[in-house]
Amino acid sequence: MKADFLLAGVGGQGVVLTGDILAEVGLRLRLDVKKADVHGLAQRGGAVEACVRWGKLVNSPLIAAADFLLGLESLEAARCAARLRQGGVALVNRHRLLPPGLSPADYPNDEEVARRFAGKNLHWVDATAAAASLGNPILAGTVLLGHLSRFLPAEEAVWLSVLNEKVPPRHRETNLLAFRRGRDPAPGERDADKGTCANGQPGGPAPP
């Protein structure tokens, strides 16, 4: 298979580790994998991106049009919407982190963010809220990976094995819980995750 993933968030959200886990899953599927990170002002809460590409032969980590967008923060996801292909899948954490220099009044609301995803399958995910209920909001990236796993061919055991390898032992158990929370959300969360396209039609799986 071939799939291009774009991850977007801010410093401190675990974007790079989330991308590392996704890259390793691709390797476990015996695919060629390329990954690149753009840190920006990560230590100040600035934008952070990761590009991960799976394929039979991948020559470059650069992505022209992603098949999947994982947005750990809603404004950063909106900024990357144009880099998601038409019909692609966006999993966007319903979470706001006000960047330096932007007033709350200027931060786009959910409807404004959704308009950026016209013609694409947008799924809102309450990943930070789900992670916080497990005791650690930073696990939002792992919750999103659980949601993403439902679109991909790797079996759950592969994801759990990679998490066991990549996550420090003291955080391992809660990361496994966060992944399962995303892969099999509670009924209320599942309803919220159905998502919509910006045209108001139901958003659904759109494999590459």
Question: What are the pLDDT digits (tens) for 62-118?
Answer: 998 999 999 999 999 999 999 999 999 999 999 887 776 777 877 888 899 999 999
Taken in order 99, 117, 121, 195, the sign of the CA dihedral is positive
Give the span between the Cα atoms of 188 and 203, in whole angstroms.
Answer: 17
> What band does 205 get if pLDDT is binned at 50, 70 and 90?
very low
Q: What pLDDT is attached to residue 41?
A: 54
Separation between Cα atoms, residue 172 and residue 174, nearest integer Å: 6
pLDDT score of 96: 83
Average pLDDT over residues 6-17: 90
Q: Are 146 and 180 in contact (CB under 8 A)?
A: yes
Q: What is the pLDDT of residue 185?
A: 79
Q: Is 183 exposed, middle or buried (0-12, 13-18, 19+ CB in 10 A)?
A: middle
Selected residue with higher pLDDT from 44 and 33: 33
Distance CA 155, CA 135 (A): 26
Is the per-residue pLDDT at 55 higher than 70? yes
Say which residue the tokens 């695919």 belong to.
31
Better-scored residue on pLDDT, 62 or 188:
62
What's the mean pLDDT when you consider all of the chain? 86
Backbone angles phi, psi at 155, to 5 degrees: -70, 160
Distances in Å between the Cα of 83 and the Cα atoms of 7, 31, 88 are 11, 23, 10
Q: Which fold has domain 3-97+107-193?
A: Pyruvate-ferredoxin Oxidoreductase; domain 3 (3.40.920)
**What phi, psi does 122 have (nearest 5°)?**
-95, 125
